[in-house]
Amino acid sequence: MATVFLSIPLRRYTSGESSAEVPGATLRALVRNLNERYPGIAESLVNPEDADRLMPGLAAIVDGEPTNMGLLTPLDADSEVHFIPAISGGAAVSNSEPGGGERCA
């Protein structure tokens, strides 16, 4: 079971819980399972126009490093996942093409 840390905006779906233990072999599966437990939370995580990608402006940190495969990122049984705002304002990241979506602060 991966541990998901939930940022403050996401906690309105979780009755204030700041983390959750959720199964999933990939980030996409994890989000699916998370959404079953906390209905609606996926709307804040998944790009409405491309279900393989994270919401624009959001980054996922898996085991200390940003993902580079978006929701397709594989997870380990004990992975730690953070959803946090992507760097904006010109930091060094491209979200513009498929395969991007990584955060690099």
Q: In what order do the strands lie in the sheet with 80-85?
A: 19-22, 2-5, 80-85, 58-62, 65-66
Which stretch of DSSP H or E encloses residue 72?
A: none
Asked if residue 40 binds other proteins (CB under 8 A), the reply is no
* Near other proteins in 2-31, by CB under 8 A: 5, 7-10, 12, 18
Min. distance of Cβ 84 from other proteins in angstroms? 6
- In DSSP terms, 58 is beta-bridged to 85
Site for other proteins contains 42 (CB under 8 A) = no
Shortest reach from residue 60's CB to other proteins, in Å: 11
Residues 62 and 64: their CA atoms lie apart, in Å, by 5
Applying the rule CB under 8 A, the residues between 46 and 85 that interact with other proteins are: 56-57, 61, 63-69, 80, 82, 84-85
42: how many CB neighbours lie within 10 A of its CB? 17
Contact footprint for other proteins (CB under 8 A): 5, 7-10, 12, 18, 44, 56-57, 61, 63-69, 80, 82, 84-97, 99-105
